[in-house]
Structure 1
Amino acid sequence: MSDFWNERYAKNEYAYGIQPNQFLVESISKLPKNGKILFPAEGEGRNAVFAAKNGFEVFAFDTSNEGKKKADKLADDNNIKIDYRVGILDNLNFTAASFDGVVFIYSHFPKAIRATIHQQIEQLLKPNGVIIFEAFSKEQLQYPSGGPKNIEMLFSEEEVTEQFQNIEFDFVKTEIIELSEGPFHQGKGSVVRFTGKKK
């Protein structure tokens, strides 16, 4: 998958734009003020940069070197700093129970490793740490607005609640939204969203 994302992110244009995800904008006040926040599969950095501009200490990771280049440039353009690491989670040396929040925005890991990664990231959260989550639902295959074409990489509410067993959810819901995020997220789409805290 690294080759796929490196090719997508190598272009000058930002694949998903430089504006933050709308659900993150609506939900960012739920994150502990000035907290330490992790962004998994962060791509070109638009959401991490937004959080850093709002006073959070921001860490991010992805497997794409090209994504990091774009994220670092966006951070420089906005005169802020983010700690962006490239690699798989096992090799990135994050400390258990060290984050105040985690923001998953379209973090579609392959099904074979997804549950494990979600559990590992839960372990990185402090007690009462906050999760903000938005990803494409299985119904997204009906829409041409972006996202994986493999149903196993898409989400249902049941999978979310099963894989985040140590989270006390504020809500979990599937919604039809209007996407306008760069050239690759445009039009109506179906997403699963939740916010919650680690028990």
Structure 2
Amino acid sequence: MSKTNQSFWDERYGQEQYAYGEAPNEYLKNKLTGFPKGRILFPLEGEGRNAVFAAILGWNVFAFDQSSEGKKKAELLAKKNGVQIEYVVSDVADFSCTEKSFDALVLVYAHFTLNERRRYHQKLSSLLKKRGLLIIEGFGKEHIEKQKQNPNAGGPKEATMLYDLEDLKTDFRGFEFIEIYKTDTELQEGNYHVGVASVVRVLAIKK
């Protein structure tokens, strides 16, 4: 676990306000609602807005993040909404779980370094059952230009950490892509995702 990254996120999540708001990501909200409930995994879940939303829908939620402050905020949000989530402090490298144990995997603004990305995506996809659901929203390569126009849009400053559609197809080989596309969208997620962003979106089923 990178102490530098952990300190950054602990500081961001240690504030009273929710850094990215309490409402779920809109793409996740629109897509998750229509699928049968099961066991769902949220890596790099931060303050829990998406995990809590899934729990409200009736999913059995498991989440992790390297930030202990994020875990505290997520558990507070779950309590506020009258639901339970299982949340541990871990990064992807150290996270351990039985393969093929989840019905859904959600990656919302979960960005990795170039050296980590494919390995981590493949590790996480191994935790999905056959016919398991994959939902992704993240910043695309074109987002670098959006950041120059509006720093409040957020996202990694390192271009290699941004998503490319062909890379995602390769990372998640063995999935049936229901949809995979890039688009510009207006984000209103707390204080750190505000304004027009270039994002990629994925809805896929594990073969």
Q: Please, what TM-score do these two structures have when normalized by structure 1?
A: 0.97
- C-alpha distance in structure 2 between counterparts of 1:89 and 1:139, whole Å: 26
For 2:31, the aligned partner's letter is S
Please provide the CA RMSD for this pair: 1.0
Secondary structure of the corresponding residue to residue 52 of structure 1: helix
2:25 paired with 1:21: yes
- C-alpha distance in structure 1 between counterparts of 2:102 and 2:34, whole Å: 14
Aligned twin of 1:171 = 179
CA deviation string 1:72-100 (max 9, x = no partner): 10001111100111112343331110100
Which of the numbers 4, 8, 20 marks the counterpart of 1:4? Answer: 8
2:123 paired with 1:115: no
Q: Please, what TM-score do these two structures have when normalized by structure 2?
A: 0.93
Aligned twin of 1:146 = 154
Alignment of 1:1-199 (within 5 A): 1-31=5-35, 33-143=36-146, 144=150, 145-199=153-207
CA deviation string 1:131-175 (max 9, x = no partner): 011000011111221101100110111111111112110111000
Secondary structure of the corresponding residue to residue 12 of structure 1: coil
- C-alpha distance in structure 2 between counterparts of 1:117 and 1:126, whole Å: 17
For 1:96, the aligned partner's letter is E
Secondary structure of the corresponding residue to residue 19 of structure 2: coil
User: Do the aligned residues in 2 keep the contact of 1:37 with 1:102 (CA within 8 Å)?
Assistant: yes
Secondary structure of the corresponding residue to residue 160 of structure 1: helix
- C-alpha distance in structure 1 between counterparts of 2:197 and 2:94, whole Å: 34
What is the number of residues matched between the two proteins? 198
Secondary structure of the corresponding residue to residue 117 of structure 1: helix
Unpaired runs of 5+ residues, structure 2, are: none
For 2:178, the aligned partner's letter is D
CA deviation string 1:70-127 (max 9, x = no partner): 0010001111100111112343331110100001100012221111110011110000
User: Do the aligned residues in 1 keep the contact of 2:44 with 2:91 (CA within 8 Å)?
Assistant: no
For 1:5, the aligned partner's letter is W
- C-alpha distance in structure 1 between counterparts of 2:102 and 2:29, whole Å: 19
User: Do the aligned residues in 2 keep the contact of 1:21 with 1:47 (CA within 8 Å)?
Assistant: yes
Secondary structure of the corresponding residue to residue 170 of structure 1: strand
For 2:30, the aligned partner's letter is E
User: Do the aligned residues in 1 keep the contact of 2:109 with 2:139 (CA within 8 Å)?
Assistant: yes
- Which ranges of 4 or more aligned residues in structure 1 deviate by more than 6 Å? none
